[in-house]
Structure 1
Amino acid sequence: MAIDGLTLLICLCGLVGNGVVLWLLGFRIRRNPITVYVLNLAVTDFTFLLFVATTSLLFLIENSSCYPVGILKYQRWVFLFSLFSYNMGLYLLTAISIERCASILCPLWYRCRRPQRLSAALCALLWALSITVTAVVTSLCLMKYERHCQIALISMYILNFLIFAPPMVISNVILFIKVLCVSKRRQPKRLYIVIFLTVLFFLIFGVPLSIRNFLEQFSYRFMSSQAVFLLACINSSINPFIYFLVGSCRRHCSLVSLQVAFQRVFEETAVTTVSS
Structure 2
Amino acid sequence: MEVSSVSPPSASPTEGADLCEIDVTNVAIGAVTLLISLCGLAGNGAVLWLLGFRIPRSPITIYILNLAVADFAFLLFAVPFAVLYLLEDVSCSMIMPLTYRSLLFPLSVLSYIVGLYLLTAISIERCRSILCPLRCRCHRPQCLSVVVCALLWALSTSLMASVISVCQSHKPEHCWVARICMYALNSLFIPAMVISSIILFIKVKCGSQQQQHKRLDIVVSLTVLVFALLALPPTLWNFLRKFGYSIMSSELVFLLTCIHSTINPFIYSLAGRCWKPCSVGSLRLSLQRVFEETEENTARSNHTAMDTLLC
Output the amino acid matched with 1:128: A
Q: Which residue of 2 aligns with 1:15?
A: 41
1:166 is aligned to 2:186: no
Match status 1:36 vs 2:62:
yes
RMSD between aligned alpha carbons? 1.8
Task: Map 1:1-276 onto structure 2 (within 5 A).
Answer: 1-161=27-187, 163-182=188-207, 187=211, 189-249=214-274, 257-276=282-301
Gaps of 5+ in 2: 1-26, 302-311
> Contact 1:58–1:71 at 8 Å: present in 2 too?
no
Query: What SS does the aligned partner of 2:66 have?
Result: helix
Instruction: Return the letter of the residue paired with 2:236.
Output: I
Q: Which runs of 5+ in 1 are unaligned?
A: none
Task: State the distance in 2 between where 1:222 and 1:124 align.
Answer: 36
Residues 77, 104 of structure 2: 8 Å contact kept: yes
Please state whether the residue corresponding to 1:189 is helix, strand or coil.
helix
Kept after mapping to 2: 8 A contact 1:153/1:214: no
Deviations 1:203-223 (A, max 9, x none): 001111222223333343332
Q: Which amino acid is 1:152 matched to?
A: A
Q: Find the structure with the greater CA-based Rg.
A: 2
Describe the SS at the equivalent of 2:207.
Answer: helix
Paired residues of 1:91 and 1:164 also in contact (CA < 8 A): yes
Aligned-pair CA distance for 1:71: 4.5
State the number of aligned residues. 271
Q: Which has the higher mean CA deviation after the structures are superposed, 232-241 or 75-84?
A: 75-84
In 1, Cα distance between equivalents of 2:230 and 2:120: 16
Deviation at 1:67, TM superposition (A): 4.3
- Structure 1 CA distance for aligned equivalents of residues 174 and 30 of structure 2: 32
Deviation at 1:74, TM superposition (A): 2.7
Write 1 or 2 for the structure with the bigger share of helix: 1
Aligned partner of residue 220 in structure 1, secondary structure: coil
TM-score if structure 1 supplies the norm length?
A: 0.92
The whole-number CA distance in structure 2 between the counterparts of 1:72 and 1:208 is 26
| Closer/same/farther in 2, CA of residues 207 and 218 from structure 1, 3 Å limit | same
1:209 & 1:246 partners in 2: Cα distance? 27
Partner-residue secondary structure (3-state), 1:122? helix
Aligned-residue sequence identity (percent) comes to 58
Deviation at 1:149, TM superposition (A): 1.8
Distance in 1 between residues matched to 2:151 and 2:58, nearest whole Å = 18
Q: Is the 8 A contact 2:276 2:282 kept in 1?
A: no
TM superposition shift of 1:271 = 2.2
Native 8 Å contact 1:150 1:217 kept in 2: no
| TM-score of the two chains, using structure 2 as the length reference | 0.82
Q: What SS does the aligned partner of 2:160 have?
A: helix
Which whole-Å CA distance do the structure 2 matches of 1:87 and 1:258 have between them? 26
Report the Cα offset of residue 108 of structure 1.
1.3
Alpha-carbon contact 1:15-1:46 (below 8 Å) kept: yes
